[in-house]
């Protein structure tokens, strides 16, 4: 089966949502396997990368996404 990029994106969001829903609320402040990062930090990083991916899939540049988020220098 060949997926379109938007279908692959949606399926990835579904899988990630299932994982996130299984994490108990009190676990988000715990350390993650990434040194110095809490579970919530990792989720934020994944969310930011996901937003960037969606921006690119819509045909926009990564730089314009960074400007929109206030992260561009």
Q: How confident is the model at residue 69 (pLDDT cuts 50, 70, 90)?
A: low
Percent over 90 (pLDDT), the chain: 45
Q: Are 54 and 48 in contact, with CB atoms under 8 Å apart?
A: no
Question: In the structure, what pLDDT confidence band is assigned to residue 66 with cuts at 50, 70 and 90?
Answer: low
| Contact in structure between 23 and 39 (CB atoms under 8 Å) | yes
Q: Which of 7-11, 45-49, 58-62, 67-71 has the lowest mean pLDDT?
A: 67-71
Q: What is the pTM of this model?
A: 0.70
List pLDDT tens digits, range 22-56.
999 999 999 999 999 999 999 999 998 888 887 78
Measured between alpha carbons, how far is residue 15 from residues 12, 34, 59, 66, 68 in Å?
5, 21, 24, 26, 27
């Amino acid at each position: 089966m060949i997926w379109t990029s938007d279908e692959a994106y949606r399926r990835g969001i579904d899988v990630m949502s299932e994982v996130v829903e299984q994490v108990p609320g009190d676990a988000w402040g715990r350390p993650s396997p990434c040194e110095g990062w809490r579970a919530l930090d990792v989720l934020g990083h994944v969310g930011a990368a996901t937003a960037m991916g969606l921006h690119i899939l819509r045909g926009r540049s990564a730089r314009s996404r960074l400007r929109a988020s206030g992260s561009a220098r």
